[in-house]
Amino acid sequence: IVVNADKVVLTGKKWNDKIYYSHSSYYGGLKEITAKEMMEKFPTRMVEKAVKGMLPKTKLGADMYRKLYVYAGQEHKHIAQKPETMEV
């Protein structure tokens, strides 16, 4: 469980220079979005993409990714699992 994903900090000019790409599979369907725009529209997706890129590209990595829960704020619905705070 990752909380406070909306408080991610990037150094330097990465807010404007880091670009995320996605393609719709149609001709000319390449879409670009900067880190700043992604944080405004989808605050959790930046953390999800970063973690997914670090996982192995196998079935095990896909299973690990399915267990990842990212929340923009402090509130989450996993109180029953008794999550512990980790200092980074």
- Topology at the third CATH level for domain 5-81: Ribosomal Protein L13p; Chain: A; (3.90.1180)
What tens digit of pLDDT does each residue of 1-26 get? 899 999 999 999 999 999 999 999 99
Domain ranges of the chain: 5-81
Task: Say which amino acid occupies 46.
Answer: M
3-state secondary structure the chain: CECCHHHCCCCCCHHHHCEEEEECCCCCCEEEEEHHHHHHHCCCHHHHHHHHHHCCCCHHHHHHHHCCCECCCCCCCCHHHCCCCCCC
Contact 71, 2 (CB under 8 A): yes
Residue 39 burial (CB count, 10 A): 20
What tens digit of pLDDT does each residue of 64-79 get? 999 999 999 888 888 8
The predicted model scores a pTM of 0.81
Interatomic CA distance for residues 2 and 48, integer angstroms: 9
Q: Which two tokens stand for residue 73?
A: 């704020």
